[in-house]
Amino acid sequence: AIALDPLSAPINAGAAWIYLQAHEFEESARQARRALELEPGLREAQSCLALALLYQGKHAEAWAAMRPLAPPGFREPRNPTDAIVLLFRQFVATRTRNPYARAVRLAWLGETDAALEAIEEAVRARRPSAVMLRSEPAFVGLWGSPRFRTLMEKAGR
């Protein structure tokens, strides 16, 4: 798709998400930055860039990418990792419509049981994203869980 329309920010952002799911975090970040050059402030690219940097352990850079996504009035701690944790906790508390997105944040926060419950909800609701359980970087720590493996089977993955 990029070959057909290299100047499309949404297409570049979509490619960034594909690289993220493939655990190619540097390429994901590069592609997300390209999308942001084409369309500054594109939330899909901003989110992907933040996660790609986070999975590389670059917390200060990840927070710099996440900061524009924080809601108005967000009280930012000094430590970038604390800021990310606080933003993820706020996301989990307020964004209940998408159980898969909630599961990603909970898994990153290390809240395994709550993450698995959210994944179960996503699988029950037949969320299209549930087929990506095996490739989701946030769920790498869940691969050894029998409960997670059962959910992957239920999701058809």
- Mean pLDDT, the chain, integer: 89
Burial 121-144 (b: 16+ CB within 10 A, else e): bbbeeebeebebbeebbbbeebee
Question: In this structure, which topology does domain 1-72 adopt according to CATH?
Answer: 1.25.40
Does the predicted model carry a pTM greater than 0.75?
yes
The closest of 106, 105, 102, 136 to 122, measured between CA atoms, is 102
How is the chain split into domains, by residue range? Answer: 1-72, 95-157
Q: What is the pLDDT of residues 30-84, one digit of tens each?
A: 999 999 999 999 988 998 999 999 999 999 999 999 888 888 888 888 888 888 8
The closest of 37, 35, 53, 55 to 45, measured between CA atoms, is 35
